[in-house]
């Protein structure tokens, strides 16, 4: 007898789970940095326009593919067209690659959260703390393991008892924490060693007021490509996740509304992350503080900002890292689910078995990633010029190469092979209107693939002038 597929019990559960996947480290450590670098409000406007067009197209497509086929990424594409199995294979390899290094970073976040929780925030702000931690041989592995265990536990419990119920608790708390920290950030002021007093509100202005100074066409193009790359990563598309989550959505659910809500949630948190981070960094470090992004912003610059806040800094740091931990857990569980559901559908095995297999793969590869800063240390130069260790190499291959390829393949499959009507009909199946239909067809057939090819060429280092 065929077992019935699990499904989210309601649309709220689905929206929160998908938003949980979308809201992740990218929203927190990259969006604010790009906004500060790319002319504040100018970046925000470009990002918003892209979210409503390009992001909406990719997100709708993947969720609809999942719901229509009721299959995981590995098997969904071949169900649409039998010659397109290879696309499913790459879409499934992406989360397999991402999972180990996402858990390694999740472990770093856990370490910082524990440091602040136990009142050791000032130590975490000292020079060399972060490097000392990641280059030690045992601690990062233990932290990674704890993070992975928490995520695997949720996935073992399944779609309803695991993913849906944890998202319903975590996401509202996460939003609350973001709002609290953002409001706090707007109220601070500080007089630096240079005698200049800066306030959070001034920092907020730098963030939201568009800066057109010295803007050239080439410069605008680079803002556009930055915003596109960020959006693409932020919505968790092209990594099989939204196909997997889409396959658990009931046929009578209103997809248009859910897709809008996921986009609003993700964009709002990204925007609020900027309200949290930019005014605080600006107040305590000036705009130079915003030159860092990624791990160095989160694990080096921000602890210094918290330390400069004095006593309250430890509490703010603790709330901040709790929030980041929540964001990372909900993203990691979506990555793991994409792989687990693929193994279940392809090999007809139980959830427990599939989760054990993926858990072991992530564990072994995760240890290798952690040791990449220690026993297995080496340096290579990537085509985009960055000096990389194992983690960066995996990140580069998945985000910069495989993900654009999956997205381009999806656009060609839907736009030209099976035709956009398949997605439109799926969205409209439950009687809801596909709002931006006029936009969807040209977008999926022509505009999105062109934008994605530009993104791929840029991230592969083939075009370097943007
Ligand atoms: N979308 C998440 C973000 O913006 C990142 C993510 C990465 C989610 C990998 C799932 C998997 O940070």
Q: Residue 359: which pLDDT band, with cuts at 50, 70 and 90?
A: very high
Model confidence over 67-89: pLDDT tens digits?
A: 999 999 999 999 999 999 999 99
pLDDT value of residue 192? 87
pLDDT value of residue 2? 57
pLDDT higher than 50, residue 432: yes
pLDDT value of residue 288? 84
Model confidence over 310-338: pLDDT tens digits?
A: 999 999 999 999 999 999 999 999 999 99
pLDDT value of residue 178? 97
- Pocket residues: Cβ below 6 A from ligand 1: 21-22, 24-27, 98, 102, 233-234, 236, 239, 331, 334-335
Q: Which residues contact 59 (CB under 8 A, 6 or more apart)?
A: 235, 237, 242, 259, 262, 263
Closest-CA residue, ligand 1 atom 8, reads 331
Q: Please give the distance, rounded to the nearest whole angstrom, from the Cα atom of residue 376 to the centre of ligand 1.
A: 26
Ligand 1 pocket mutation pick from 233, 265, 327, 391 by most atoms within 8 angstroms of CB: 233
Q: Please give the distance, rounded to the nearest whole angstrom, from the Cα atom of residue 260 to the centre of ligand 1.
A: 18
pLDDT higher than 90, residue 466: no
Query: Which atom belonging to ligand 1 lies closest to the Cα atom of 234?
Result: 4
pLDDT higher than 80, residue 3: no
Percent with pLDDT over 90 in the chain: 86
Ligand 1 pocket mutation pick from 26, 97, 395 by most atoms within 8 angstroms of CB: 26
Percent with pLDDT over 70 in the chain: 99
Model confidence over 216-267: pLDDT tens digits?
A: 988 898 899 999 989 989 999 999 999 999 999 999 999 999 999 999 999 9
pLDDT value of residue 211? 86
Q: Please give the distance, rounded to the nearest whole angstrom, from the Cα atom of residue 216 to the centre of ligand 1.
A: 31
Q: Please give the distance, rounded to the nearest whole angstrom, from the Cα atom of residue 165 to the centre of ligand 1.
A: 20
DSSP letter for each residue of 55-115: IHHHHHHHHHHHHHHT--HHHHHHHH-GGGHHHHHHHHHHHHHHHHHHHHHHHHHHHHHHH
Q: Residue 390: which pLDDT band, with cuts at 50, 70 and 90?
A: very high
pLDDT average, residue stretch 272-300? 92
Q: Which residues contact 148 (CB under 8 A, 6 or more apart)?
A: 103, 106, 332, 359, 362, 363, 366
pLDDT higher than 90, residue 373: yes
Closest-CA residue, ligand 1 atom 10, reads 331
pLDDT value of residue 384? 77
Ligand 1 pocket mutation pick from 18, 19, 20, 25 by most atoms within 8 angstroms of CB: 25
pLDDT higher than 50, residue 1: no
pLDDT value of residue 304? 94
pLDDT average, residue stretch 159-166? 97
Determine the Cα–Cα distance for residues 29 and 337; give it in Å rounded to an integer.
24
pLDDT value of residue 460? 83
pLDDT value of residue 164? 97
Q: Please give the distance, rounded to the nearest whole angstrom, from the Cα atom of residue 3 to the centre of ligand 1.
A: 31
Using a 10 angstrom Cβ sphere, with 0-12 exposed, 13-18 middle and 19 or more buried, the burial of residue 132 is exposed
- Rounded mean pLDDT of the chain? 95
């Amino acid at each position: 007898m065929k077992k019935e597929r699990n499904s989210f019990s309601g649309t709220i559960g689905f929206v929160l789970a998908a938003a949980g996947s979308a809201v992740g480290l990218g929203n927190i450590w990259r969006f604010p940095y790009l906004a500060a670098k790319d002319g504040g409000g100018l970046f925000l406007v470009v990002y918003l326009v892209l979210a409503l067009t390009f992001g909406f197209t990719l997100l709708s497509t993947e969720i609809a593919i999942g719901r229509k086929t009721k299959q995981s990424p590995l098997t969904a594409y071949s169900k649409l067209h039998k010659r397109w199995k290879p696309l499913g294979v790459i879409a499934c390899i992406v989360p397999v690659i991402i999972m180990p290094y996402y858990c390694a970073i999740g472990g770093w976040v856990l370490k910082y959260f524990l440091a602040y929780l136990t009142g050791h925030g000032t130590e975490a702000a000292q020079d060399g703390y972060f490097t000392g931690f990641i280059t030690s041989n045992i601690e990062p592995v233990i932290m990674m393991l704890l993070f992975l265990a928490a995520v695997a536990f949720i996935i073992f419990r399944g779609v309803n008892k695991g993913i849906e119920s944890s998202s319903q608790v975590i996401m509202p708390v996460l939003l609350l924490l973001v709002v609290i920290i953002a409001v706090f950030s707007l109220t601070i002021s500080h007089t630096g060693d240079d005698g200049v007093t800066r306030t959070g509100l001034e920092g907020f202005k730098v963030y939201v007021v568009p800066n057109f100074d010295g803007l050239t066409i080439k410069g605008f193009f680079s803002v556009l490509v930055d915003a596109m790359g960020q959006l693409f990563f932020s919505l968790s598309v092209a990594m099989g996740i939204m196909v997997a989550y889409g396959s658990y959505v009931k046929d009578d659910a209103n997809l248009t509304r859910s897709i809008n809500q996921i986009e609003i949630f993700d964009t709002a948190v990204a925007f609020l992350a900027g309200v949290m981070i930019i005014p605080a960094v600006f107040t305590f470090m000036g705009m130079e503080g915003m030159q860092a992004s990624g791990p160095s912003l989160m694990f080096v610059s921000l602890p210094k900002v918290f330390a400069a806040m004095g006593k309250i800094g430890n509490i703010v740091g603790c709330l901040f890292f709790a929030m980041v931990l929540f964001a990372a857990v909900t993203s990691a569980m979506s990555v793991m689910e994409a792989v687990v559901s693929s193994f279940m559908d392809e090999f007809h095995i139980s959830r427990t078995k599939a989760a054990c297999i993926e858990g072991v793969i992530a564990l072994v590869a995760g240890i290798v990633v952690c040791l990449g800063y220690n026993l297995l240390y080496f340096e290579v130069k990537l085509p985009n010029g960055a000096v990389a260790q194992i983690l960066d190499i995996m990140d580069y291959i998945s985000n910069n190469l495989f993900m654009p390829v999956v997205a381009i393949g999806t656009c060609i499959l839907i736009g030209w092979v099976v035709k956009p009507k398949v997605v439109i009909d799926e969205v409209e199946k439950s009687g809801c209107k596909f709002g931006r239909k006029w936009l969807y067809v040209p977008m999926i057939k022509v505009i999105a693939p062109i934008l994605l090819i530009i993104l791929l060429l840029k991230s592969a280092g083939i075009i370097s002038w943007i």
